[in-house]
Amino acid sequence: MTNSTPRPIIDGQERSQGSLGTIQLVNPATEELIATLPSCGAEEAAEAARLSVDGFAQWSAISPFERSKVLRRAADLMRGEADEAAAEMTREGGKPLAQARGEWLASADLLDWYAEEGRRAYGRLIPTRASDMRWAVERRPVGPVAAFTPWNFPAWTVMQKVAPALAAGCSVVLKCAEETPGSGWRIGRALLAAGLPPRAISVIWGDPAAISSTLCAAPEIHKVTLTGSTRVGRLLASAAGQHLKKVTMELGGHNPVIVARDADLSTVVPLATEFKFRNAGQVCVSPTRFLVEKPLYADFVAGVTEAAGKLRVGDGLEADTQMGPLTTAGQLSKIEALAADAVQRGARIETGGSRIGNRGYFFQPTVLSGMTPEMDAMNEEPFGPLMLVMPVDDIDAALTEANRLPYGLASYAFTNSMSTERKISQNIHAGMLGLNHFAMAMPETPFGGVGDSGMGSEGGSEGMEAYLRPFLVSAKIG
């Protein structure tokens, strides 16, 4: 283990041993072992939960103004290690270096934004029913938080939880993804170096089920927040519900893109190709089901086929790579199976469709046309480089298909008609709608889904709200 090997952090100390032995980190581009790390379980989770009570008492007693300075200092420290953090993120998860660097720096900006938002957690005075009364509502931090994060955006998804929780005055026990622990570890270190009380944050990983069942049941923890799959969302929301804890669940999606007959393909095609294959399609808001009105269908398919075929796939550490490998061997097998099922049921591979080589989890950027609703890929979240294209007769048919699934995270539409825009925005079942573009997650704006895509929002002032509770002081002043 070297100084740049991620280690769990508890009580401000980096641990070189875990109660469950070790886990191995593998580079998805080469399948080589990167490092062997301590593995935590129920023991560390219980310890971190216990300490988070002290951390909460200390951190919430500091004024929002001073807390804000600590968080801003941490954001600056993060910017100072962008090169190392990005290289580590690419080695662990596979995304191209420029995307990893962008994510790291955006996460530092997110921390800055919440550092300021924490200073604006205003309460309110309510007009009373009697002149000798005063009704004041404060907004107080909910208490220690357990946060669970996935591997696809290992810095951003951590920061979407840690930044608003700390800005609100909460302490955090962070369980980051076992595949990509480096970013959470670095964020924890930056916060501690910036002056966060040591017990206000713990960073652990190891056995997810043991850690989550311990934290969801721990009386010290007051809120559970997860970004992850719908399957794990159900597990954690049930466990938290059993103990009446608040939850935020940012889960999977199967995001429709409606391409109306009046859309401008010279805009849609390059944007669709760029965003579909970003992070090899392993993005919760990735555009997934492309529902194209028939007059544009053939040209759309030809355009994206040509553009996808030109993408350079390779090790994310190489400068000209546009798409890296999938992050895990499991993802690779799932994508192979979904593509095979679609073809077997009549879809056509326009480009791609196969694994690349036999070392590293590389899969070709793939366009599948002639998709129909019964194919597995049209129902399960693919989370990979499959662009699924289906022709539709009209906007009503597109909306029917878009709203068919129980998911409702992001949705997108491309049109130049105001009435089509209005029709789609009034009838789409989703947490978010991107009109004529795909860029979704910003510090200032809420981000979240409905139905099987989860509950609650991150980002924006809504993201802070999730870590605050109202406290009423009803005073007789006469």
Q: How far is the CB of 391 from ligand NAD (least distance, A)?
A: 26
Smaller CB distance to ligand NAD: residue 8 or 228? 228
Site residues for ligand NAD, 399-418, by CB under 6 A, read 409
- Residue 393: which of 470, 307, 246, 295 has the closest Cα? 295
Q: Which stretch binds ligand NAD (CB under 6 A): 25-33, 76-84, 208-216, 269-277?
A: 208-216
Q: How far is the CB of 291 from ligand NAD (least distance, A)?
A: 20
Site residues for ligand NAD, 128-167, by CB under 6 A, read 148-153, 157
Interface with ligand NAD, residue 334, by CB under 6 A: no
By Cβ distance, which residue is nearest to ligand NAD?
228
Among 117, 350, 381, 401, binds ligand NAD (CB under 6 A): 381
The string of DSSP letters for 193-240 reads HTT--GGGEEEE-B-HHHHHHHHHH-TT--EEEEES-HHHHHHHHHHH
Q: Which stretch binds ligand NAD (CB under 6 A): 43-51, 227-235, 287-295, 350-358?
A: 227-235
Q: Which of 88, 284, 350, 401 is catalytic?
A: 284
Q: How far is the CB of 327 from ligand NAD (least distance, A)?
A: 9
Contact 137, 470 (CB under 8 A): yes
Q: Whole-angstrom Cα distance, residue 24 to residue 9?
A: 18
Active site residue 176: no
State whether the Cα torsion 287-102-447-419 is positive or negative: negative
Q: Which of 44, 103, 179, 250 is catalytic?
A: 250
* H or E, element range at 249: strand 246-250
Contact 356, 94 (CB under 8 A): no
Smaller CB distance to ligand NAD: residue 100 or 268? 100
| DSSP-derived pairing of the beta strands 407-408 and 410-414 | unpaired
Smaller CB distance to ligand NAD: residue 228 or 370? 228
Which residue stretches of 277-417 are H helix?
Answer: 294-309, 329-344, 395-402
3-state secondary structure at position 278 = helix
Q: Which stretch binds ligand NAD (CB under 6 A): 78-86, 113-121, 248-256, 307-315?
A: 248-256
Active site residue 284: yes
Smaller CB distance to ligand NAD: residue 236 or 386? 236
What b/e sequence results for 162-174 when a residue is b if at least 16 CB atoms lie within 10 Å of its CB, and e otherwise?
bbbbbbbbbbbbb
Contact 205, 166 (CB under 8 A): no
**With CB under 6 A, what is the number of residues at the site for ligand NAD?**
29
* H or E, element range at 174: strand 172-175
Site residues for ligand NAD, 275-314, by CB under 6 A, read 284
Contact 223, 146 (CB under 8 A): yes
Q: Which residues contribute to the site for ligand NAD (CB under 6 A)?
A: 148-153, 157, 175, 177, 208-209, 212, 226-229, 232, 235-236, 250-253, 284, 381, 383, 409, 449, 454
Mind telling me the catalytic residues? 250, 284
